[in-house]
């Protein structure tokens, strides 16, 4: 009998089977297993050391904390989430524009790099009180501003590098046909930069969360998960503080995977099959 | 027959940090309509600069470039280009890559007509069935064939080939030479081929121009007198051997390794 690869001779699975296969695949099971192992180790660490709550809460302390404050988690989680996302969107728009200017013009690149690096080197925690005083009472605006300021840098740098390292042949192919700079940007420069852009966006997502929470914790306007953390600290409710941290981590993971999904849609071509 | 491409007394220098670097110094070239000229010369002698001049991507410091009786001062869509690097857009399928020039050059074709034209060319070069593949799924030779289709899809008057087969292995290269002849029969064009492969130059072109070392000028012109239709076997005939020997000698002169003889 002729050789038939096993993958070809099997009947094609139905939709239900495919979903089941996806949910039990390595890509889903491996991270879940890692989280479970992490929680077990954490629980064991606290238990073995006999630490009380006020030294370090254990995972088993968290469900009661969530149960007790669960409406607060929803309201404040939403406040943190939308302000982070708005900050991120502004960072994407601004970062892409700055990246384009720097990517297309050598002069602008030379001129702006030191300024950008210097700005990025300033710890944003020091900017928080300045911003809070400058726009006093504008809580939403302040929080979005810090989230934006902390997260636009990697986007600007990646877009500028992507555009400035475009091979000249790519440009020549279109220029020789009489294409305008705008056409070259939309047809070649932009799509070619997308993989770098999404790489930077993954970094920016987590940075934006840090920015939002910095403002929420430092500036006392009582909104967002940062404020909930702060109230946990004031009331010595240690399990609540840890519960906030885990909620933040969860939101971060969700946003990260949204970016990964967008990357698959818009820059999936850059992923090469392994093996 | 009128000359479709005419290059008259072109001089050009690149501005570098160490002062101007002259690359072309009195270049003369004429290609009749439907002709196919190969340009050979020592490496770094300005062959690629020549392609940019014809494509209008570069304006010469001195001299004139004429295309179809018009002076070339800017890029024009009647030119198709293929490079050593096939420059495939990785995010597009092979078909979408080939269609690209039709999205830029003004034309009245519908989307379906554009795709039909691209499919026809892909079939001509033996890529039928690969239309929906991504460039990364194709071999180097296949990508180069697709790149050739893209250069031809808008029916350019002039096809500029800048060492398009340079990175391919010897057998794939010979396949592509034969494909080039088939393509030229179905889709006539006026061609300029930059190459450093002498066998390639006499197999494909009807005239071979040898450029001198940098700064380059036209040093020698050889009429390729191989009777058509050409086959790889012809490269092993005495005539071909003599032509190759002649060209080899001229390259050595260009490199400054052999004295220029009066008879040459």
Contact B75/A167, CB-based, under 8 Å?
A: no
Q: When comparing pLDDT for A97 and B256, which is higher? A: A97
Residues of A in contact with B56 (CB under 8 A): 176
Is A71 domain-assigned? yes
Mean pLDDT over the full length of chain B = 87
Write out pLDDT tens, residues B87-129.
899 899 999 999 999 998 888 889 999 999 999 999 988 899 9
Collapse the DSSP code of B43 into the 3-class scheme (helix H, G, I; strand E, B; otherwise coil) and give the result. coil
Which of B79, B91, B134 is facing A176, going by the closest CB pair?
Answer: B79
Alpha helices in A69-189 (DSSP H): 70-104, 106-121, 124-134, 139-164, 168-175, 181-184
CA end-to-end span of chain A: 28
Minimum mean pLDDT among A204-208, B33-37, B232-236: which range? B232-236
Contact B89/A191, CB-based, under 8 Å?
A: yes
What is the token pair recorded at A11? Answer: 């009947």
Q: Which helix (H) or strand (E) holds A252?
A: helix A238-267
Identify the pLDDT of residue A17: 80
Write out pLDDT tens, residues B202-230.
888 989 999 888 788 888 888 887 776 78
Is A167 domain-assigned? yes
Which of B76, B83, B154 is facing A169, going by the closest CB pair?
Answer: B83
Residues of B in contact with A187 (CB under 8 A): 89, 100, 103-104
Which residue, B88, B81, B126, B121, is CA-closest to B105? Answer: B81
Q: Is A176 on the interface with B (CB under 8 A)?
A: yes
Number of domains in chain A: 1
Contact A174/B105, CB-based, under 8 Å?
A: no
Domain at A108, CATH number: 1.10.3720.10
The CATH architecture assigned to B1-77+196-264 reads: 3-Layer(aba) Sandwich (3.40)
Identify the pLDDT of residue A275: 45
Q: Is A98 on the interface with B (CB under 8 A)?
A: no
Identify the pLDDT of residue A13: 64
Q: Give the global pTM.
A: 0.76
Contact B101/A169, CB-based, under 8 Å?
A: no
Q: Give mean pLDDT, residues B145-159.
A: 92
The confidence band for B85, taking pLDDT boundaries of 50, 70 and 90, is confident
Using CA atoms, how far apart are residues B208 and B198, in angstroms rounded to an integer? 9
User: How many CB atoms within 10 Å of residue B104?
Assistant: 20
Residue A45, pLDDT above cutoff 90: yes
B9: Cβ contacts below 8 Å, ≥ 6 apart: B26, B27, B28, B62, B63, B64
Distance from CA of B54 to the nearest CA of A (A): 10
As a whole number of angstroms, the longest Cα–Cα distance in chain B is 59
What is the residue extent of each domain of chain B? 1-77+196-264
Using CA atoms, how far apart are residues B53 and B62, in angstroms rounded to an integer? 11
Which residue, A58, A71, A68, is CA-closest to A242? Answer: A58
Classify each residue of A67-77 as buried b or exposed e, where b means 16 or more C-beta atoms within 10 Å of its C-beta: eebeebbeebb
Residue A10, pLDDT above cutoff 80: no
Burial class (CB in 10 A: 0-12, 13-18, 19+), A85: middle
What is the token pair recorded at A126? Answer: 């020091």
Residue A85, pLDDT above cutoff 90: yes
Q: Give mean pLDDT, residues A55-84.
A: 90
Contact A178/B75, CB-based, under 8 Å?
A: yes
Is A229 domain-assigned? yes
Q: Is A172 on the interface with B (CB under 8 A)?
A: yes
User: How many CB atoms within 10 Å of residue A2?
Assistant: 3
The confidence band for A12, taking pLDDT boundaries of 50, 70 and 90, is low
Which of A169, A174, A191 is facing B104, going by the closest CB pair?
Answer: A174
Q: When comparing pLDDT for B60 and A8, which is higher? A: B60
Which of B57, B91, B105 is facing A172, going by the closest CB pair?
Answer: B57
Closest chain B residue to A171, measured at CA: B87
Q: Contact, A99 vs A158, CB < 8 A?
A: yes
Closest chain A residue to B151, measured at CA: A173
Pairing of strands B62-67, B36-40: unpaired
Is A25 domain-assigned? no
Q: Contact, B30 vs B19, CB < 8 A?
A: no
The interface predicted TM-score (ipTM) is: 0.78
Using CA atoms, how far apart are residues A269 and B93, in angstroms rounded to an integer? 10
Q: Which residue has the tokens 């690969």?
A: B130
Identify the pLDDT of residue A3: 58
Using CA atoms, how far apart are residues A87 and A256, in angstroms rounded to an integer? 15
Residues of B in contact with A188 (CB under 8 A): 89
Residue A239, pLDDT above cutoff 70: yes
Residue A73: give the domain boundaries: 61-265
């Amino acid at each position: 009998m002729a050789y038939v690869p096993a993958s070809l001779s099997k009947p094609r699975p139905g939709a239900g089977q495919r979903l089941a296969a996806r949910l039990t695949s390595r890509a889903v099971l491996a991270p879940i297993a890692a989280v479970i192992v992490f929680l077990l180790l954490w629980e064991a660490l606290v238990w073995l050391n006999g630490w009380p709550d006020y030294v370090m809460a254990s995972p088993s302390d968290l469900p009661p904390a969530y149960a007790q404050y669960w409406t607060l988690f929803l309201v404040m989680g939403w406040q943190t989430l939308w302000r982070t996302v708005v900050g991120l969107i502004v960072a994407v728009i601004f970062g892409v524009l700055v990246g384009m200017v720097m990517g297309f013009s050598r002069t602008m690149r030379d001129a702006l790099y030191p300024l950008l690096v210097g700005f990025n080197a300033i710890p944003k925690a020091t900017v928080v009180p300045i911003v809070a005083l400058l726009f006093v009472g504008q809580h939403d605006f302040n929080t979005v501003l810090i989230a934006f300021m902390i997260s636009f840098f990697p986007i600007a740098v990646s877009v500028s590098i992507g555009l400035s390292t475009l091979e000249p042949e790519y440009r020549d192919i279109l220029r020789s046909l009489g294409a305008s700079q705008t056409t070259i940007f939309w047809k070649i420069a932009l799509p070619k930069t997308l993989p770098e852009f999404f790489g930077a966006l993954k970094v920016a997502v987590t940075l934006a969360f840090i920015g939002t929470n910095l403002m929420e914790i430092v500036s006392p306007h009582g909104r967002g998960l940062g404020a909930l953390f702060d109230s946990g600290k004031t009331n010595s409710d240690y399990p609540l503080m840890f519960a906030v941290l885990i909620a933040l981590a969860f939101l971060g993971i969700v946003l990260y995977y949204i970016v990964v999904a967008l990357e698959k849609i818009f820059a999936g071509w850059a992923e090469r099959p392994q093996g | 027959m009128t000359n479709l491409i005419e290059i008259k007394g072109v001089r050009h220098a690149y501005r570098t940090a160490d002062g101007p670097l002259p690359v072309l110094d009195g270049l003369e070239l004429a290609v009749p309509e439907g002709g196919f000229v190969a340009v050979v010369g020592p490496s770094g002698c300005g062959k690629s600069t020549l392609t940019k001049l014809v494509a209008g991507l570069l304006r010469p410091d001195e001299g004139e470039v004429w295309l179809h009786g018009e002076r070339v001062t800017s890029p024009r869509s009647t030119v198709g280009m293929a490079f050593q690097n096939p420059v495939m857009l990785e995010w597009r399928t092979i078909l979408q890559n080939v269609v690209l020039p039709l999205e830029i050059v003004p034309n009245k074709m519908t989307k379906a007509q554009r795709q039909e034209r691209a499919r026809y060319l892909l079939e001509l070069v033996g890529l039928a069935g690969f239309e929906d593949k991504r460039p990364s799924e194709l071999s180097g030779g296949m990508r180069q064939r697709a790149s050739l289709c893209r250069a031809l899809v808008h029916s350019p008057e002039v096809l500029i080939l800048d060492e398009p087969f340079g990175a391919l292995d010897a057998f794939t290269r010979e396949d592509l030479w034969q494909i080039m002849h088939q393509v030229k029969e179905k889709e006539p064009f006026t061609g300029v081929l930059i190459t450093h492969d002498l066998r390639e130059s006499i197999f494909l072109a009807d005239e071979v121009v040898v450029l001198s070392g940098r700064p380059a000028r036209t040093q020698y012109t050889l009429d390729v007198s191989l009777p058509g239709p050409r086959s790889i076997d012809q490269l092993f005939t005495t005539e071909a051997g003599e032509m190759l020997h002649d060209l080899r000698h001229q390259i050595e002169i260009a490199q400054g390794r052999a004295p220029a003889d009066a008879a040459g």
